[in-house]
Amino acid sequence: MNLRENLIKALTLDLPYERMERARLLWPKLSGKSHLSEAGVLILFGAKENTNKFEILFTLRTDKVDVHKGQVSFPGGRRDPGDLSLTHVALRETEEEVGIPASAIEVIGELPPLNTVTGFRVTPVIGILNTPIETLVLKLHPIEIAEIFWASLDDLRAPQCHRKEKMTWKEQEFEVHVYQIRQYRIWGATAEILKNLLERLKQ
């Protein structure tokens, strides 16, 4: 079974996020917001030419953005009034942030939305790059994106890559997933989404 078929099957599984209910209960208190802001992110799979080893694209946010400064994330952002769907949001933001057009991406589907304690309802969209990674001409948004990197599925699945950490934010203690890829620390909502997807593919 190839990656596309595996992803389609993985999206049909009933596998909730580990911290979904806790986030739902805490986000109004911690974020100070009366409603969730809808957002879409893209989990983009790509492979280098003449290989079938897939990698996932991550971005490193700058210190100039309003939220999640300096954190690793998937490309994406808030829904604008003119956006037709959360998939449209993820594709639009990906082109704005890193320069990859929607025409270069085959959309496979969506994971369930994840509520975050910072007041967002994030819908992860799954896509596969229809061109080799090395043929991309990237253009990083100077205010939002400091750099991008790719992480292979093999590396992300390695036991030594994943751990759990306890952190405190606004007097609330959380246990969060952390993935360490080279010098990059993936945590928070991005790690929660990644963990859920990897578990789906494993099953």
DSSP string, 129-151: ESS-GGG------TTTEEEEEEE
Question: Residue 162 belongs to what H/E stretch?
Answer: strand 162-169
DSSP assignment of 62-114 equals -SSSSSSTT-EE-SEEEPPTT-SSHHHHHHHHHHHHH---GGGEEEEEEPPPE
Tokens 């320069």, residue located = 99
Question: How many CA atoms lie within 13 Å of 88's alpha carbon, on the beta-carbon side?
Answer: 7
Q: What is the pLDDT of residues 50-86, one digit of tens each?
A: 888 999 999 999 987 776 678 999 999 999 998 899 9
Estimate the crossing angle of helix 188-202 against helix 3-10, to 10 degrees: 110
Asked if residue 41 has pLDDT above 60, the reply is: yes
Q: What percent of the chain has pLDDT over 70?
A: 89
Tokens 């580990």, residue located = 18
Asked if residue 33 has pLDDT above 80, the reply is: no
CA distance 107 to 94: 13
**pLDDT, position 194:** 97
CA distance 40 to 107: 13
Backbone angles phi, psi at 132, to 5 degrees: -60, 145
Asked if residue 190 has pLDDT above 60, the reply is: yes
CATH number at residue 190: 3.90.79.10
Residue pair 76/67 in contact (Cβ under 8 Å)? The answer is: no
Helix (H, G, I), strand (E, B) or coil at 201: helix
Q: 44 or 17: which carries more pLDDT confidence?
A: 44
Which domain range does residue 81 map to?
A: 3-202
Q: Which of 187, 185, 190 is nearest to 177 (CA)?
A: 187
Counting the structural domains of the chain, the total is: 1
**pLDDT, position 107:** 98
Q: How confident is the model at residue 111 (pLDDT cuts 50, 70, 90)?
A: very high
